[in-house]
Structure 1
Amino acid sequence: MFGHSWRAGVNKIEQIKAEKDGLDVDADIARYAELGWQAIQESDVERLKWWGVFMRRHTPGHFMMRIRIPNGITNAAQLRAIAALAQRHGRGILDITTRQQIQLRWIQFEHVPSILSELGAVGLVTLQTGMDNIRNIVGCAVAGLTRNELFDASPVARAFTDMFVGDRAYTNLPRKFNVTITGCRENCVHAETQDIALVPATAELGGRTIAGFNVLIGGKNGSGGYRIARPLDVFVRPEEAAEVCSAIVLLFRDHGSRDARNKIRFAFLVEEWGETRVRDTLEARLGRALDRAGADERLPEATNHVGIFRQKDVSLSYVGLAIPVGRVTSEQLKEIARLAVAYGTGEVRLTPDQNVVIPNVPDPKLGNLTAEPLLKVLRYDPSAIMAGLVSCTGIEFCNLAVIETKARALKIAQTLESKIHDGKPVRIHWSGCPAGCGNHTVADIGLLGVKAKVDGQTVDAVDVFVGGSSGPQPTQAVKILENVPCDTLPTVLEGLIRYGEPEKLRRRLRAISTPPLTPSPAASPRERVDDAGRRPLLLKDELPDGAGKALVVNGHEIAVFRCAGTLYALLNQCPHEGGSLAGGAMEGDEVICPLHGYGFNLKTGVCSTDPRLQAKTFPVVAQQGGFVIDA
């Protein structure tokens, strides 16, 4: 199929796919439901994953079902249906995943046909949520709502999903394929961990500034660790994005290796070919040249959308609720659905950090919503430790995990809450095995499950990573501890949280890592003028508070920042060693150079790290409904 036929020596999954497409097992589901789960053939155990049905060896006779929810956008009717199924068939528990899906547990196979039917009645499917398929498309959970987005990218996520779900052209990939599509500038989707990431960008095309996406490829977690997705040096408009994603996936289908399964993710093909060959092959498949990359519009900071935030419509807010380790009961899910109808429009969003957002809440209703009993459990104002807690399924239900994660992560977080009260944000992510489903590689503190020997006894343990991140300046986490027994983690983590500085570590990692690729000309700051041909004009609301942007002004590259409502401009060249200040994070009234962590006062340019240094500053003057920089 698609130029690949099974041969001796090729992995077993390729043989199974060559014999019968995974989607074709649907004809056998009703038969197995009548005969009982013991009758399921070994090959069909694998094919059932194409239908989102997973046998779990830790719960013999019971299955997990994974529900596809593109971009994490769902509604009260769907959540009520899912909650009812969990109550009747799944012992009343559900898990929200880091791909914005919901997983049902403890399902007996005899109920699978009726569950699929009931999900379909509310517009939900489980198709292609496992094995060698395009998994759920991840996107910003507050797409279309947040003020900090370049544009709403959720229609693109939906269009691409509609393109491949149920289509056998996409069901025989060499390996699983993860995609994120986002217009959010706040790095809420861990883009650099994905096989394809479309991230917000602008490009000058035909004399106009166009909002669209830069394309990153070849990211992953799993075997071999975190591979940071690489820029393809391609810019795509929203209307062509789904087609380009499709072409990249089919390129992988036709050219990716099908040998050892731990070495055949798309990242390995990208590594073998290089970005130039991938781009040339992609353009040949599309039959046209693609625009080169634009200016990355992402901010340095990341968010999880937990809390109460004003929407674009200033009369409405969205309320992000922390769901500790992503586990909810059927009763809690029903209550979330009720609250979404009572206080919003019935819409609900799921986040990549396993949390829930209730959007479109009018100001007069906010007080009553925050007083609801459920919000005392699933809080909009959680502790810093609970707000940043993420966990994979763990050995309780997962065939790959080597330790228990969810209950342990929650218990340890509660212990830390009782001891640490400084409110310093910290992201602690647990993965029960190297597959990395808990995204431990991009956390302040990442915990990877292992087994260790203590006094001759095998115990649950973790390797401890710190300083990982995704975003426009991604960093590889550093493993600082190995084989730490889980029983000792409360003390170990308390010390790391109290005395660790993940952001400072990231700056050092960036400073000693391989220098970044030289940006393409299209990605460089561009000269801009107002309608009268005068100095470059910055629009009044172009920069949100806490953001920076590079512009070219009379031949000078200038970094412009908005801090507490005021605009500041500095030469976009760190006087220490030339780092781009526009890409730095803002801390108080300073910008921190991303290269070595030197801090510069936005108003004066004085360096707090080395007072002998000073960045050149420029006046920002109001003009023509916007601002010009006097350079």
Structure 2
Amino acid sequence: MLLLSDLPTCPGLFYGSRSRDGVLSRMRIPGGILNVQQCRTIANLVDRYSTGYLQVTNRANLQIRELHSEIAPEVWQDLQELGLASRRVEVDPIRNMMASPTAGIDRQQLLDTRPLVSAWDNYLQTHPELSELSAKFSIGFDGGEAVSIRNLRNDILLAAERRSGNSEIVFRLYLKGDTGIIIEQSQCIAVLAALTGAYLEYTKKRPRIDGKKPRLRHLLADWGAESYLEKIEKNLPFALGRRSIELSERAIAPNGNLGIHRQRQSDFSYIGIALPLGKLESKQLRKLANLAQKIASGTLRLTPWQNLVISDIPNSEVSEVKQQIADLGLHSSATRLDSCLVACAGNSGCASAATDTQTHALEIVRDLAQKLTLDRSINIHFSGCEKSCAQHQPIDITLVGIQIQQKGETIAAYNIYAGRKDLPFGRQIFPAVSVAEMPRAIERMVRVYQRFREPQESLGEFCDRWAIDKLQKLLSPDNH
């Protein structure tokens, strides 16, 4: 377990993967929810075997980098007893199921998805044959929360909807896009099991692609969504409902996982805490857990935006909790540049990366923080190569690492993209910008956006509104 040789490409907890900065281990946290005892155990594990910090990932996993020795066998049993390790080693590497970090407390939610998360995790644990699935196979549950995950990438998504004319809540099935299939709450696990089983059989018959197991998208490309659904329906004891409700327009709170928000439980609030690049020191984790135990419900919630939520805080204690968070060197503001910052491992941890994304990201936002004041959040993503492992959809600003020649030397640089019009990064605004020039280029983008934006318009929407040549001219250094 966690052998330091013959490591897989996709890490789990029992078997890590090797990266440039050592062994990487990933801990699945179903739905992202941790209790106090789990937090303390994780902090102790990080201190004993690694470098004193861990990272929240974009699936609300916990990631431990730079493991320097094999984890002792007796530790695994403790982790399993606490629910921090899979009961079956085989299924551990499968991706964490995703849910809103405000499930059960969101004032807008239609349904609490936490029981579904637990039920699906139990299904995985009791079906070891599913270990043959691609480790990247992913399922999400959206309960209609304002802090929604329905726009995040999942192979299969169940999104809650209300039937027209009555109070019944059902789920709509998404496979890349909306299938029009309506599923009763009691049918969810059976449908997921059928979809997963058919996908498993597909992977057994289809050859590997570039040495890797076929993804669900390959099945959809081969079969089509309708054929896939027809195949699984034959194995279900009920018919799938089709297009019986209209899609509802639901408000999604931009970066609602950050800041102070009232819960559906009227006497309580939650605070979303920003973790720049998802990094959290073990001592911070311990103190946050102690704080949650002392004042709130003893629960910490990890988010797919690499942040953290303390829920169930009595409204009278919110100011005290906010101050104690600040005392730990953390904050809950959504309008700081480090709040909505995403970066892949970079070349310090990944051989594919052309640039040191983690270092560059923090250096640049620290520089810009001294020059800019924001009144709304701006999402920035640093990717060390075009794989874009840490962020799979266009956001406000995306920077893709490259190497360029300058004065006879090879130096790090980035292509700068903005907006959400063109996949995978948005539209390219500036090519080959050196790291030294990056702060000035991004500062120009933000200042122009702040000057010319329309009310409630995000930076990405602002950039999408302009023709590319006019936008480039507007952002040119000659105009500043």
TM-score, normalised to structure 1, is: 0.66
Partners in 1 of 2:160 and 2:186 — Cα distance?
Answer: 14
Q: Does the CA-based 8 Å contact 1:174-1:258 persist in structure 2?
A: no
Q: Which amino acid aligns with 2:193?
A: S
Deviation string, structure 1 residues 522-557 (Cα, Å, up to 9, x no partner): xxxxxxxxxxxxxxxxxxxxxxxxxxxxxxxxxxxx
Change over 3 Å in CA distance of 1:252–1:460 after alignment to 2: farther
Change over 3 Å in CA distance of 1:92–1:140 after alignment to 2: same
Q: Which amino acid aligns with 1:454?
A: Q
What residue in structure 2 maps to residue 83 of structure 1?
43
Q: State the shift of 1:314 in Å.
A: 1.1
Unaligned segments of structure 2, at least 5 residues: 450-458, 468-480
Change over 3 Å in CA distance of 1:184–1:401 after alignment to 2: farther
Q: State the shift of 1:309 in Å.
A: 0.6
Partners in 1 of 2:397 and 2:191 — Cα distance?
Answer: 35
Q: State the shift of 1:416 in Å.
A: 1.5
Change over 3 Å in CA distance of 1:464–1:247 after alignment to 2: farther
Q: State the shift of 1:154 in Å.
A: 1.8
What residue in structure 1 maps to residue 118 of structure 2?
158
Change over 3 Å in CA distance of 1:178–1:352 after alignment to 2: same
What residue in structure 2 maps to residue 241 of structure 1?
188
Q: State the shift of 1:350 in Å.
A: 0.6
Task: Return the match for 2:15 from 53, 72, 78.
Answer: 53
**Equivalent residues in 2 for 1:1-20, closer than 5 Å:** none
Q: Which amino acid aligns with 2:15?
A: V
**Equivalent residues in 2 for 1:331-370, closer than 5 Å:** 331-370=283-322
Q: State the shift of 1:190 in Å.
A: 5.5
What residue in structure 2 maps to residue 496 of structure 1?
445
Deviation string, structure 1 residues 484-520 (Cα, Å, up to 9, x no partner): 33332211211222224422445789xxxxxxxxxxx
Task: Return the match for 1:140 from 91, 100, 104.
Answer: 100
Partners in 1 of 2:126 and 2:399 — Cα distance?
Answer: 36
Q: Which has the larger radius of gyration?
A: 1
Partners in 2 of 1:489 and 1:110 — Cα distance?
Answer: 40
Change over 3 Å in CA distance of 1:105–1:51 after alignment to 2: closer
User: The residue matched to 1:87 in structure 2 has which SS?
Assistant: helix
Moved more, 127-136 or 356-365: 127-136
Task: Return the match for 2:159 from 199, 207, 219.
Answer: 199
Partners in 1 of 2:417 and 2:463 — Cα distance?
Answer: 12
What residue in structure 1 maps to residue 472 of structure 2?
none
Q: State the shift of 1:464 in Å.
A: 2.7
What residue in structure 2 maps to residue 230 of structure 1?
177
Q: Does the CA-based 8 Å contact 2:271-2:309 persist in structure 1?
A: yes
Partners in 2 of 1:203 and 1:347 — Cα distance?
Answer: 33
What residue in structure 1 maps to residue 372 of structure 2?
420
Q: Does the CA-based 8 Å contact 1:50-1:130 persist in structure 2?
A: no
Q: State the shift of 1:114 in Å.
A: 3.9
Change over 3 Å in CA distance of 1:179–1:83 after alignment to 2: same
Q: Does the CA-based 8 Å contact 2:255-2:377 persist in structure 1?
A: no
Q: State the shift of 1:234 in Å.
A: 0.9
User: The residue matched to 2:104 in structure 1 has which SS?
Assistant: coil
What residue in structure 1 maps to residue 396 of structure 2?
444
Partners in 2 of 1:112 and 1:389 — Cα distance?
Answer: 35
Change over 3 Å in CA distance of 1:497–1:252 after alignment to 2: farther
What residue in structure 1 maps to residue 247 of structure 2?
296
Q: State the shift of 1:357 in Å.
A: 0.6
Moved more, 238-247 or 66-75: 238-247
Task: Return the match for 2:230 from 259, 280, 302.
Answer: 280
Partners in 2 of 1:161 and 1:469 — Cα distance?
Answer: 36
Q: Does the CA-based 8 Å contact 1:73-1:349 persist in structure 2?
A: yes
Higher relative contact order (CA 8 A, sep 6+): 2
Report how many residues are paired. 453
Q: Does the CA-based 8 Å contact 1:90-1:104 persist in structure 2?
A: yes
Unaligned segments of structure 1, at least 5 residues: 1-25, 218-228, 510-631
Supply the RMSD in Å over aligned alpha carbons: 3.0
Q: State the shift of 1:266 in Å.
A: 1.6
| Correspondence 1:182 to 2:142 | yes
Q: State the shift of 1:427 in Å.
A: 0.9
What residue in structure 1 maps to residue 172 of structure 2?
214
User: The residue matched to 2:168 in structure 1 has which SS?
Assistant: strand
Q: Does the CA-based 8 Å contact 2:396-2:418 persist in structure 1?
A: yes
Q: Percent identical across equivalent pairs?
A: 26
Deviation string, structure 1 residues 117-165 (Cα, Å, up to 9, x no partner): 3322322116899999530011100110010212111211221111113
User: The residue matched to 2:332 in structure 1 has which SS?
Assistant: coil
Q: Which amino acid aligns with 1:70?
A: P
User: The residue matched to 1:443 in structure 2 has which SS?
Assistant: coil
Q: State the shift of 1:209 in Å.
A: 4.3
Task: Return the match for 1:104 from 64, 80, 83.
Answer: 64
